[in-house]
Amino acid sequence: MSEAINQHWHFAIVGAGLSGVCLAVLLAREQPQWNILLIDSQAPEAAPDHRASALSASTVDVLQSMGLWSTLVTQTAAITGIDVSDRGHIGSASLDAREQSLSAYGYVVENAHLASVFATALAKYPSITHISSTAPRLIKPRRNGMSLTLEEGEYLADLVVIAGGEHRSLAEKLGITYRHYDYQRAALVANLTMTEAHEGLAHERFTGDGAIALLPLPGETGKRVSLVWTLPPEQAEKMQTAAPEEFIRCLNQQLGSRVGAALEVAYRQCFPVKKVIAAEQVRSHLLLLGNAAHSMHPVAGQGFNLTVRDMATLTELLAKAHDEGIAPGDLGVLQRYAKLRKDDQGRTIALSDKLPKLFGMNEPLAMVARNIGLVTLDLLPPLRQSFARFGAGLMARRAHLRE
């Protein structure tokens, strides 16, 4: 540890969650000469992450370029179809990946397994120094870089990346503001065993209280799914602590016949649902990433996928700048990154914001509009194709990474 103190790093990444670790591996793979400091400030006794992530086609593309997909895919479940429905209304839409000549819209992986694959990759790169520490007490601009003050001492870096929503306070200390929107909902996350096999079908069901997403999980029986159920906070808390039989009964009342029935629940955990957007994502020698830059409603499952596209573009631009003799942290390079990512971020955040608001409206005109929209989506193949390609991240600019 002491050898690292006061050493000048090319990158210091604050936060060793999925986003921080993925970025460290991307950077190390792209340019072995870069030395990278990864600061893990998570408490050792932190609760395990039982959630799952739906990896879009764009994310799979990046993981393939990193050489990780062949290891990861064996522990995923492919999403080959998506069913969208509105409880109590006729509007619905069914999407089939084969219609868009895709093998799958995406793949679902449990976060614990994804983290394990990233950790194994991390250990393969000697240019990455992974330390456990409390969060930096101070981040301060220096000449040609940034300094981070940790308990162990001062660290200097060309580019400091703040990764993860738990570190937003560091950005706020630097004068970066955030726009907040509280959906007055909590996301109840659980793993379920269904009565029937999912066969690669994901469900997005909208109810009067919130959205219910069921994502296929890997397993021999094909009956395991990941549940994300958005509810008013008091209802979510009640469902989290309810007896398993009562929880299953209440959930099945909301699912309806087209989704199927839940049989068992493995665990339950609640998270607040808020939209938090940084007013700035880049400054000279500073970048915000992941939930430190943008946190959104989980309805479309786009948070991590959007961040992966951010990281891929960032890595591409930094590598080109390196070839031109430009050090990481150059403001011009970071501003170009922000410009290239603006449209994709804006569209993705807008979709994740508008869908739950539209389906949460109980006014007659709103109900008619959304049901017409679902029926139209179901009837028009070109519209389904555009919607599916957007969800798969295939309408965004593809970053060019080293093969």
pLDDT of 190 higher than 50: yes
Which amino acid is it at 29? R
DSSP string computed for 18-87: HHHHHHHHHHHHH-TT--EEEEE---TTPPP---EEEEEHHHHHHHHHTT-HHHHGGG-EEE-EEEEEET
Quick check: pTM over 0.75?
Answer: yes
pLDDT score for 129: 95
Adjacency order of strands within the sheet including 52-56? 52-56, 106-110, 77-79
**Per-residue confidence at 359, pLDDT binned at 50, 70, 90?**
very low
pLDDT score for 4: 47
CATH numeric code, 2-180+275-391 = 3.50.50.60
* Percentage of residues of the chain with pLDDT beyond 70: 85
pLDDT score for 149: 92
In tens, the pLDDT along 224-244 reads 999 999 899 999 999 999 999
Contact call for residues 292 and 168 (beta carbons, < 8 A):
yes
pLDDT of 368 higher than 70: no
DSSP 288: E
Domain boundaries, the chain: 2-180+275-391
pLDDT of 277 higher than 50: yes
Q: Which of 35-44, 56-65, 86-95, 325-334 has the lowest mean pLDDT?
A: 86-95
Helix (H, G, I), strand (E, B) or coil at 175: coil
For range 240-264, the mean pLDDT? 92
Contact call for residues 257 and 265 (beta carbons, < 8 A):
no
Cα(251)–Cα(12) distance, rounded to whole angstroms?
44
**Per-residue confidence at 165, pLDDT binned at 50, 70, 90?**
confident
pLDDT of 379 higher than 80: no
In tens, the pLDDT along 291-323 reads 999 998 886 678 899 999 999 999 999 999 999
